[in-house]
Amino acid sequence: MREISLLKDLKHHSVVELFDVIIIDTSIYMVFEYLDMDLKKMLDRYKGSFTPMLVKSYMHQMLDAIAYCHLNRILHRDLKPQNLLIDREGHIKLADFGLARAVNFPIRVYTHEVVTLWYRAPEILLGTKFYCVGVDTWSLGCIFAEMILKRPLFPGDSEIDQLFKIFRQMGTPDERSWPGVSHLADYKESFPYWEAQPLPSEMRHDLDAHTLFCELMHYDPTKRISPKSAMNYPYFDNVCLVPPEL
């Protein structure tokens, strides 16, 4: 019912449209607009379709959708390729608001059992009791990298493995890189220490893409760029709608 309530209020060209709600006996059916497939299937089946211009187009549309949600005080909380639907004209739309929720400010305490593991922000993995729009921003950064690399950036198989995959790439966080991290419930002084490593070569070819990714993926969630601000980055100067090759 939460998803129905939120979707009725969200009207945006990059958010899947809810056409109707049908109640039969004790069952509820939601009728959505049709799109050809989700981004996960496209990544699995059509890796060659992810040209730099298509990645740019998809990323701009995703940022637009999340900026709209955040403007309306809604956290999606489960951003992943399976929840992004695409069509043959080049549109990508945000779907599945089952874990989304309206945000009240000041920030309230939420359950941290949200967001599929590979796209889960480090503050959630470390047991934060306070989180907000930065959790969606981190997930977008992971999806951005996955479209460029054509593979998941942090494919962990448990919460601790997920954390350590992030640490190995970005360096183990401390109070200098992330003020307050040592006070999070699941932070351990005994965590292994890793130095930050250069990003995969595919992500260093385009300086503007590299810069945008880094701005989305700050450890400190308060330093992550907002989706609205990200849309104005030089990376998107020549963005346009690009039909994928399916």
- Residues 29-59: pLDDT tens digits? 777 788 899 999 999 999 999 999 999 999 9
Indicate the angle between helix axes 52-71 and 207-216, nearest 10 degrees: 30
E-strand ranges in the chain read 18-24, 27-32, 37-38, 74-75, 84-86, 92-94, 101-102
Which of the four pLDDT bands, split at 50, 70 and 90, describes residue 156?
A: very high
d(CA 189, CA 117): 23
pLDDT number for residue 74: 84
d(CA 92, CA 61): 7
Of residues 38, 64, 78, 136, which has the active-site annotation? 78
Topology (CATH level 3) of domain 37-236: Transferase(Phosphotransferase); domain 1 (1.10.510)
- Is 208 part of the annotated catalytic residue set? no
Higher pLDDT, 48 or 169: 169
pLDDT at 110 over 80: no
| 35 within 8 A of 42, measured Cβ to Cβ | no
Per-residue pLDDT reduced to its tens digit, 90-109: 999 998 765 555 565 445 55
Per 3-state DSSP, the chain is made up of helix, strand and coil in percentages (nearest 5) of: 40, 10, 50
pLDDT number for residue 106: 41
Report which listed range, 22-31, 65-74, 107-116, is most confident.
65-74
**At which residue do the structure tokens 């109707």 appear?**
20
Domain positions in the chain are 37-236
